[in-house]
Structure 1
Amino acid sequence: MNIIIAFAKPKDLQNFKSILSRGGFDSVSTVSSGMQALSAMEDLGSGVIICGYRLNDMLYSELLTDLPPYFKMLLIASASHVPTETDADNFMFLQAPLKTDELYSTLNLMLEGVQNLRKKAKQRRLNRSDADKKTIDKAKALLMERHHMSEPEAHKYLQRCAMDSGTNMVETAEMIISLNNI
């Protein structure tokens, strides 16, 4: 699973990367800004982002609002920055200074949660009806024909549109088909 470490200070980035490496977490990326974090999350698709209260260009709360669906956030901050809104299911908080075993267990729990989310999404895709599959295939065919996309590009476009609009793939496919008929 993917882990992104996001702290404004390069020293913090290296310290956390070293701690995670000693704990057996190998797939670790480091960034110092929220925009870099969002770009890395988009590229990786799923995982956990470990961050501080303030990055170079935004606060953790701003990053949390733009968190992709298959990412969870672990905020590491001092007692003076304890978050008031901690009821989100994609967010956890550990107070600094922290114990490494507490970090490892929390991170493992979060990574397991991300993995479960992906499994459930895959199961939903496998359980689609034939009519739903045909609708999605028709929308992909339209995208491929009209916009010269490959099948994987059309599929990814449908997924992104569904996420951006807060609808499922079938509803998004139906919108694309109806727009074509106008």
Structure 2
Amino acid sequence: MEMDKVIVAFESPKSCERVREIIESSGTAACIICRSAAEVKRTVSKHHISTVVCGFKLPDESAQSLFEDLPPNCAMLMVAVQGMLDLCQNDDIFLLASPVSRGDLVASVRMLIQMGHRLEKFVRPQRSEEEMALIDEAKSLLMERHGMTEEQAHRFLQKKSMDSGAKMVQTAKLVLGGQ
């Protein structure tokens, strides 16, 4: 069986290496180190990774903002000093105060990986290229007509889909004026 993979993303290279060493030496998972939120997003979608271990912020974005852009089956473990954790306003992000013990870090990552395995059973299959093209076309239209960024257009489609209980592809078709 292939070893689970987790993303480790901290501003400090030293923190990345320390966390990677603890997770990998315990046999919990293989780590992919990312240096920015943009890199995390690309890596999550490319490798279908369901666990991200990170600090309070990355060079290009806060962890909370990054979490909102991750797929619903992706869990986040934020490791930071308690004062920073107190600023986190998203109850879906798992928090671990540093300095953290090896045992607490390993136990937390293992728990999130197990949750990810359970969620995989309920997460919809990946979209087809045709569906992705429809969504991209709807985003382009929103960007052009309403001056949205790509991220804003994506969130708009996500929110409308969730509010109506429709799939994102159906919402994209509505935006494009079709059925």
Fold similarity call, TM over 0.5? yes
2:135–2:168 Cα contact (<8 Å) kept: no
Structure 1 position 46 matched with structure 2 position 49: yes
Q: Offset at 1:94? A: 0.4
CA contact (8 A) 2:53 2:78 kept: yes
Separation in 1, partners of 2:113, 2:89: 18
CA shift at 1:170, angstroms? 5.3
Q: What is the number of residues matched between the two proteins?
A: 152
**Structure 1 pair 84/53, CA: closer, same or farther in 2 (3 Å)?**
closer
Q: Which runs of 5+ in 1 are unaligned?
A: 126-150
| 1:1-182 superposed matches below 5 A | 1-85=4-88, 88-89=91-92, 91-121=93-123, 152-157=128-133, 165-166=157-158, 167=161, 172-173=169-170, 176=173, 179-180=177-178
Using the size of structure 1 for normalisation, the TM-score is 0.68
Change (3 A) 1:158 1:112: farther
- Structure 1 distance, partners of 2:90, 2:171, is 34
- C-alpha change, 1:116 and 1:62, in structure 2 (3 Å) is same
Q: 1:24 to 1:96 in 2, by over 3 A?
A: same
Opposite residue 25 of structure 1, the aligned amino acid is T
User: Which amino acid is 2:112 matched to?
Assistant: M
Cα distance in 1 for residues equivalent to 2:82 and 2:167: 45
Alpha-carbon distance between aligned partners in 1 of 2:71 and 2:168, rounded to the nearest angstrom: 20
Q: In structure 2, how many angstroms separate the alpha carbons of the residues matched to 1:96 and 1:154? A: 45
TM-score (norm 2): 0.69
Percent same amino acid among aligned pairs?
Answer: 18
Gaps of 5+ in 2: 139-153
Contact 2:43-2:49 at 8 Å conserved across structures: no
Larger Rg: 1 or 2? 1
The offset of 1:61, in angstroms, is 2.1
In structure 2, C-alpha distance between the alignment counterparts of 1:75 and 1:171, rounded to whole Å: 28
Q: Secondary structure at the match of 1:32?
A: coil
Paired residue for 1:130? none
